[in-house]
Amino acid sequence: MRTLTGLQPSGKFHLGNYFASIKPMVEAQNLGKDDMFMFIANYHAMTSVSEAKKLKDATFEAAAAFLALGIDPDKSTFWVQSDVKEVLELYWILSQLTPMGLVERAHAYKDKVAKGAEAHHGLFSYPVLMAADILLFNSNLVPVGKDQIQHVEIARDLALKFNNAHGEIFVLPEAKVEANIATVPGTDGAKMSKSYGNTIDIFSDAKTLKKQCSSIVTDSTPLEEPKEWKTCNVFAIAKLFLDDAGQAELAKRYEKGGEGYGHFKMYLNELVWNYFGDARDKFDYYINHKNEVYEMLDTGANKARKVARATMEKVRDVVGIYR
């Protein structure tokens, strides 16, 4: 069983990235049951990052962040998307059989354009490149948030269409959504996303973290009155760090009254800061030891290319690429 996921280096890693994607991958990696593939999606990031230095720096920082958060290159295949060029070749080949209607129905594109993103071909064809990422490596499972399920379904549709025309070349992927954390709320209650500017960042300094936690939208219930924890954005984020007993204890504090939302925001700030303490130290180490990071990425890219080349040999043959 092979599990694949990728994250864009288009900004600082935040709690949504971690709980919806990285944490489940690290846990699966450490169990050792599945074949884990994880990559930094820098081609995808080009849809939103146009400055060369910014993209280069963000790609390296993403690698350092993955390693700091527990990705082990000895247990997982870990690489940068652009180091395996076969993904672009497969992207073009899949484009030849992708109906316009299929990508026109992609809600992620519509949502981003509605929020002010430039409507260009790269953003429009994003699902086809994502399909190439998934199918190139014979991925069985793709951990995603709810908003990305449709993209995995598109990859599956394209795999079926290709296989029907050329034989059983691609594995049919399935989306894997963690039921309790499929969508991590941001500071405004919407899905936590860099593009929405509502994130709580993992490796921010203490001052920035406090500011982000303090900016979480809450209602105007007076300090002395009981508060509704079931619909509170602070509680929704805090519970990600707590076991059942911890969640029950926090809920009682809400119901008792006598504490304002400021108290709960400070509590959340402490949870985040303490939880990622070791990861921050590791992140600082990798940021200052670039050669070690590059060596690990090179090793991962070599492993990924072996799988990619084997897939593309079959694909090229059946579509008529002459050698």
Catalytic residues: 112, 191, 194
User: Contact at 8 Å (CB) between 201 and 212?
Assistant: yes
The residues, ordered by sequence, that sit 6+ positions from 240 with a Cβ below 8 Å of its Cβ are: 15, 19, 181, 184
Q: Which residues pair with 33 in a beta bridge?
A: none
Cα separation, 159 vs 145, whole angstroms: 21
Cα separation, 101 vs 98, whole angstroms: 8
Would you state the structure tokens that stand for residue 269, as one six-digit string?
Answer: 């700030």
Would you state the structure tokens that stand for residue 156, as one six-digit string?
Answer: 């599956």
Amino acid at 120: H
Other Cβ atoms less than 10 A from the Cβ of 52: the count is 8
Would you state the structure tokens that stand for residue 7, as one six-digit string?
Answer: 């994250």
Alpha helices in the chain (DSSP H): 15-17, 23-31, 42-45, 52-68, 86-95, 100-104, 107-114, 121-124, 126-136, 149-166, 206-214, 233-238, 244-256, 261-275, 277-287, 290-319
Cα separation, 162 vs 314, whole angstroms: 12
Cα separation, 154 vs 97, whole angstroms: 12
User: Contact at 8 Å (CB) between 48 and 210?
Assistant: no
Other Cβ atoms less than 10 A from the Cβ of 228: the count is 11
Would you state the structure tokens that stand for residue 154, as one six-digit string?
Answer: 């598109």
State the Cα angle at 245 between 239 and 249, rounded to 5°: 75
Residue with tokens 């390693």: 67
Residue with tokens 């079931």: 230
